[in-house]
Amino acid sequence: MKMINLQENYEKDYQDDPPIQSYVGCCTTARNDYVDLIRALNNAAIITETDLHGTITSVNAEFCRISGYSKEELVGQKHNIVNSGVHTKEFFELMWTTICGGGVWFGEVCNRAKDGSLYWLHATIFPIFSTETNEVYKYAAIRFDITEKKKQEFALKHKAEQYRDIIDITDGFCRVDADGRFLEVSNGYCQITGYSEEELLSMNICGSDNFEGSMSRILEPEFLMGRVSKSFETICSRKNGSKWNAEINVSHSTLNDGSFFILFHNISERKEIEANNENLRQQVNQIQKLDSIGRLTAGIAHDFNNVLASILGYNEFNKDICDDMPDGALKVELRNNVIQVETAAKRAVELINKMMTYARQKTNKKSKDTKPTAEIIEEVVNMLRSGLTNKFAIELDLNYKLHIDVDSTDMHQIMTNLLVNARDAMKNKKHGVIKIQLHNSHYDNAHCNACFKTISGEFIELSVSDNGMGIDKELQSSIFDPFFTTKDVGEGTGLGLSVVNGIVRNAGGHILIDSQRGVGTTFKLVFPLQTE
Ligand SMILES: Nc1ncnc2c1ncn2[C@@H]1O[C@H](COP(=O)(O)OP(=O)(O)OP(=O)(O)O)[C@@H](O)[C@H]1O
Ligand SMILES: [Mg+2]
């Protein structure tokens, strides 16, 4: 087989070496075409020949141009004069093995120019066989400058690496098409959602209920049309149904295929802290509010008590004067007035006592009662039963073994206030029922409606239910505020539940409310379990 002898002075070659014609497989009429081809190749390609030891025997002008060496500087040198140091020993070993074995080697090679700059070539290196011996006697290389293409590739690779870095620092990444079908998902995204890559790639981000519908926002026309990115927070579900809070950033992909990049950032921890802070803020507010109202109430009650003591004292004098008066209409009228003043003043004293009870809620009063709580409750109910009304039933379900550490006077206050409230809530009811229960209960992360703390564990629970008008959700956080009432002037002071709350708090307990408008209300007073 004949090979082309690629020399820069190709025309001379052509004249000296007729077999070239046979190699290109052309007939004699192709002579001019062949000359043109060689000329074109010489202009476009970088061409060199070396002997069997890699010593350069011939170079074309393109090789000199790209390497920066002159022909004289190159010919006679080993080809490794242009080695860049970029490739490994194995790389060159493979190349030499291929061409020494008579094969053709293709590949991308980085060379170093005389000025030290690097350039990239796509090279085809092949052996040339002697016509006489049919042995390889030299090697030729035809190379094309691909430096620009490589630069673009490196830039793209760099971009891709940056992109990977972004993916790695986010908790999850996915790419979806314009219909929401997953096209790509990161490992992080699989981990956080609990789905395998395979499962996700068969799912649709908008169709799945894992994002509570919020993902359909990416399909909103104004977003699809625009080139802006979109960020929002949402609650996502994992495969196992558990929830996590995500901050999501959706942007049009740079691949220009209408797909979207979606980055997920797990913000569950931050959300939890925010919620706890909000809860803590509510608790502090409530404590401050109760504290200032408590102090105000205590001051008013104290001064009022003094005024009432003097009213009642002077009224006693009037009573004595009245007794000494001669009988007659005047005496009867005066006596009646004295009794009215006494009744009104005593009612005022009762009210003051209520205010005092509320105001002293921070004292650490400990119960001295040993009476079972159930017995005290029954006592109160029997006392109040007739005073309430016979229009409704009172049902008791009390565990006698349980004891709440609240003394009987305070237990009376609690029961009286809750029962009177229940009665008032059922005043328009034909068949009102009040249920009182004392039993054990267990709560996990329940919310105290009075102090807003979250409670968990075992408790003794005293509950009072009615099937009255119920309490609106918006009012439920206000009803424990002192002086909050929805009752008409003269019918309620708004102190009942504040007093109950004060006593419950002193005993380390909490109050939970279950209420529905028009259905009824249950007040659950939960106290810590008593240890022996
Ligand atoms: N069982 C109940 N059903 C419906 N609403 C209730 C119930 N208990 C309390 N409320 C609401 O809570 C408000 C506050 O109750 P609270 O006992 O503190 O004061 P009050 O009953 O209005 O006055 P008083 O000081 O005479 O008790 C009531 O005005 C009422 O709106
Ligand atoms: Mg009340």
Which amino acid belongs to residue 185? Answer: V
Q: Which residues line ligand 1 (CB under 6 A)?
A: 417, 421-422, 425, 466, 468-469, 471, 479, 484-487, 492-498, 521
318 and 249: one domain? no
Secondary structure (H, E, C), 319-338: HHHHHHCCCCHHHHHHHHHH
Instruction: Decide which of 147, 162, 185 is a domain's last residue.
Output: 147
The reply to whether 2 falls in a domain is no
What does R_g of the chain's alpha carbons equal in angstroms? 48
Q: For residue 307, what are its two tokens?
A: 């005024």
State the Cα–Cα distance between residues 2 and 103, nearest whole angstrom. Answer: 15
CB 525 within 8 A of CB 462: yes
Whether residues 216 and 243 fall in one domain: yes
Q: Are residues 472 and 380 both part of a single domain?
A: yes
Ligand 2 center to 495 CA (angstroms):
7
Least confident range from 22-26, 106-110, 116-120, 367-371: namely 22-26
What DSSP assignment string belongs to 60-102? -HHHHHHH---HHHHTTSBGGGGB-S-S-HHHHHHHHHHHHTT
Residue nearest ligand 1's atom 19 by CA = 494
**CA-wise closest residue to 398 among 442, 463, 459, 458:** 463
Cα distance between residue 147 and residue 292, in whole Å: 79
Instruction: Please name which of 62, 161, 49 lies closest in space to residue 99, comparing C-alpha atoms.
Output: 49
Q: Which stretch of 80-84, 132-136, 272-276, 489-493 has the lowest confidence by average pLDDT?
A: 489-493
Same domain? 193 vs 214: yes
Query: Which two structure tokens, joined as six digits, stand for 287?
Result: 């404590």
Q: Are residues 227 and 312 in the same domain?
A: no
Residue 163 maps to a domain:
no
The residue type of 223 is: F
Residue nearest to atom 9 of ligand 1 (CA): 421
Range picked from 68-82, 212-226, 227-241 for highest mean pLDDT: 68-82
**The predicted structure's pLDDT at residue 210:** 60
pLDDT averaged over the chain?
83
Is residue 123 located within the same domain as residue 188?
Answer: no
3-class secondary structure, 137: strand
Per-residue model confidence as pLDDT tens digits over 387-401: 676 678 899 999 999
Distance 55 CA to ligand 2 centre (A): 109
d(CA 522, CA 502): 18
Angle separating helix axes 373-388 and 408-425, nearest 10 degrees: 40
**What pLDDT shows up at residue 367?**
53
Q: What is the CATH number of the domain that holds 29?
A: 3.30.450.20
CA 378 to CA 355: how far, in whole Å? 26
Q: Within a domain: residue 61?
A: yes
Q: What is the pTM of this model?
A: 0.51
CATH number at residue 523: 3.30.565.10
Report how far apart, in Å, the C-alpha atoms of 277 and of each of 281, 341, 344 are: 6, 52, 47
Pairing mode, if any, of strands 230-237 and 520-528?
unpaired
Residues 6+ positions from 178 with CB-CB distance below 8 Å: 219, 224, 258, 259, 260
pLDDT tens-digit profile of 40-50? 888 889 999 99
Query: How far, in Å, are 31, 65, 475 from residue 259 at the CA level?
Result: 55, 45, 49
Q: Is residue 27 part of a domain?
A: yes
| Residue 160 placed within a domain | no
Amino acid 130: pLDDT = 85
Nearest ligand to the C-alpha of residue 485? 1
Domain ranges, residue 129: 10-147
**Ligand 1 site-directed mutation target among 485, 491, 501, 512, most atoms within 8 Å of CB:** 485
Q: What is the pLDDT of residue 275?
A: 84
* In contact, 390 and 477? CB cutoff 8 Å: no
- pLDDT at 366 (0 to 100): 54
Query: Rounded to the nearest 5 degrees, what angle is found at the Cα of 233, between the Cα atoms of 231 and 238?
Result: 120
* Helix orientation angle between 268-324 and 329-359, rounded to the nearest 10 degrees: 160
Model confidence at 23, in pLDDT bands (50, 70, 90)? very low
The reply to whether 355 and 468 lie within a common domain is no
492 alpha carbon – ligand 1 mean position (Å): 8
Task: Tell me the C-alpha distance between 485 and 353, whole Å.
Answer: 18
Phi, psi of 225 (to 5 degrees): -75, -40
Q: Report the alpha-carbon distance of residue 460 to residue 528 in Å, rounded.
A: 6
Please tell me the distance from the alpha carbon of residue 176 to that of residue 203, in angstroms, as a whole number.
10
258 and 345 housed in the same domain: no
Among 359, 389, 407, the domain boundary falls at: 359
28 in the same domain as 109: yes
354 & 386 share domain: no
Lowest mean pLDDT among 213-217, 391-395, 471-475: 213-217
Tokens linked to 290: 């109760």
CA of 280 to the centre of ligand 1 (A): 26
Q: Quick check: is 355 in a domain?
A: yes
- Based on the number of CB atoms within 10 Å of its own CB, is 414 exposed (0-12), middle (13-18) or buried (19 or more)? buried
Cα 520 to Cα 491: distance, rounded to the nearest angstrom: 21
What's the CA-to-centroid distance between 74 and ligand 1, angstroms? 104
Instruction: Report the pLDDT value the prediction gives residue 489, as an integer from 0 to 100.
Output: 76
433-447 and 454-466 as β-strands: parallel, antiparallel, unpaired? antiparallel
User: Residue 450: nearest ligand to its CA?
Assistant: 1
The CATH number of the domain where 335 resides is what?
1.10.287
Are 280 and 258 contained in the same domain?
Answer: no
Report if residue 28 sits inside a domain. yes
How many angstroms separate the CA atoms of 116 and 112, rounded?
A: 6
Residues 34 and 129 occupy one common structural domain = yes
- pLDDT tops 80 at residue 436: yes
Identify the domain boundary among 210, 243, 266: 266
Let me know if residue 368 belongs to a domain.
Answer: no
What is the C-alpha separation between 80 and 67, in angstroms, rounded? 12
> Based on the structure, what is the number of domains in the chain?
4
Distance between CA atoms of residues 378 and 300, nearest Å: 34
